[in-house]
Structure 1
Amino acid sequence: MNQLDQLKKYTKVVIDSGDIQNIEKYNPFDATTNPSLILKAIQMEKYNYLIKESIQYSKKKGGSKEKIINRAVDKIVVNFGVEILKKIPGVVSSEVDSRLSFNTEKSIKKARDLIYMYENEHGINRSKVLIKLAATWECIKAAKYLEKENINCNLTLLFSFAQARACAEANVFLISPFVGRIYDWYNLHYPMKEYNVLFDKGVKSVKKIYKYYKKYSYKTIIMGASFRNKKQILSLSGCDCLTISPELLKELKSSNTVFSKQLFLPKKVFSKIKEKMSKSEFNFLHNQDLMAVEKLSEGIKQFSLDQNFLESIIEKNI
């Protein structure tokens, strides 16, 4: 049995890709996308038809040029999600415009717009979609409202324990702690002479969150994301979900080396902590973690730049 099949015994495997054709190769349960992956895919000639279809759709709806461009980008995100759902049995994650990461009301509206397209343009129930939002205080608050409308959310760009705790207390459906990006920061500032997964700060972050969530009976799903090597993935076997790039899925599939499950449910559990974090406490705790502050800011900035680039591609094609 190859390592990918072994991993599927312990963990729900999710593919992190915008390339629809790639998804079929690995038989994942769910799939995740983000602005960077969509941008990468949309520049492939084989997906040109999705740009044309999105522009035609948006033009028919009318409005200003800016509105047509914004709507067309949303339609591209949904179109990719629709095509991906044809290849998987589970759910797809579609991301809200990262430039709205500090605006609760606009994030909620954008999420509703995406869900409206899925349901009314394609007949896909909201239960098949996870709305991705950056794990800022404002977006965690947005997710809390959206969950009440049965719009499940995936809180991404998660780097600090404060973010993870706030998400659990808001009853967010799923979180995506970024293993690889945490590792990148520590490797840049405090490089290991020789890599040892036991000292990998990204891996340790997810293990800490997993232990806390399970100990205090939080239902929020943990999906480790952004991996840099196979060792990081295997060391988190037993986590609720892991979203993995096609390159690393290929590596897992090509190896038959046996490994064992690493994460286990605690023997003793407790009820949820009743006293929830305030915004000021969240800001204080999150800002104690320099890595988390820098990586969250960097992630939002990069996704926003990719969103701008995607809009420029749409504008050129109108």
Structure 2
Amino acid sequence: MNQTDGLTPVKPAESELLVVTGMSGAGRSTAANALEDHGWYVVENLPPQMLSTLTEIVSRTPESIPKLAVVIDVRSKELFQNVQGSLAALRTAGITYRVLFLDAADNTLVRRFEQGRRPHPLQGDGRILDGISAEREVLQELKHASDLVVDTTQLNVHALATTITELFSDSGPIVLRLNVMSFGFKYGLPVDANFVADVRFIPNPHWVPVLRPQTGMDEPVRDYVLEANGAAEFIDRYVNALEPVLEGYRRENKHYATIAVGCTGGKHRSVAVTEEIAQRLAQLPRVQVTAHHRDLGRE
């Protein structure tokens, strides 16, 4: 056990503390179940004020619970008000942690509550949307300070469980995981993007009849996009600009980032550039990269 002369125990480096929070209806319970499946000790619905106490107890025998996940929700505004203070107290005590924030679009959250036939915990006598709005206001600061933000709008319970598995099933601290995502601006910005690149400056293959039915995954389109004037220079400079940012993420104990690349419809230019950027980033040390094409296949 690692202690400091009888003072507050310091959580050993080999153990992990994960705080799971986010919007009601965004999938906290699904995430908790997935974490349990991979050896995490999960405590759900813990009042934030008890976080330090629980962590101190666990840190006395870290070998018994090497991976602790604590799920905190906002069912009580009063209890949630000092969550940032509770997290700051952990850091002051030398206890490292990460915060996973689950989010989803408002219309998705409304649909999930309606399907479950249950009220939002903060809606009171108002509508579900009133509760969602109130919750977003309470959680805004915590979301911005989170290490990982996962958008579950397009994820069912199985896809979310898979995402959690990919992020947290490894033993020990996870490597820096990058999700490079193509998207179409006409379908809206990805809400979980840490960086957004606009490649609409590249000539659009949509206006080339032979290329229009193809996608950025096809070689003729890929060549047309990547050989366009300015495309290679943009990709080179963009990847180079990301390198110090990603290194900074490691220093700040952030382990996940989404890099979104957008064109008009998310079919040609953004797909080709996303694949190229993902390939370049995958060559960096201690980085795991996946490429995802959000709007590929849409009409």
TM-score band, normalised by the shorter chain? under 0.3
Q: TM-score, normalised by structure 1?
A: 0.26
Indicate the structure with greater strand content: 2
Q: Which has the higher contact order (CA 8 A, sep 6+)?
A: 1
- Structure showing greater radius of gyration is 2
Indicate the structure with greater helix content: 1
Q: TM-score, normalised by structure 2?
A: 0.27
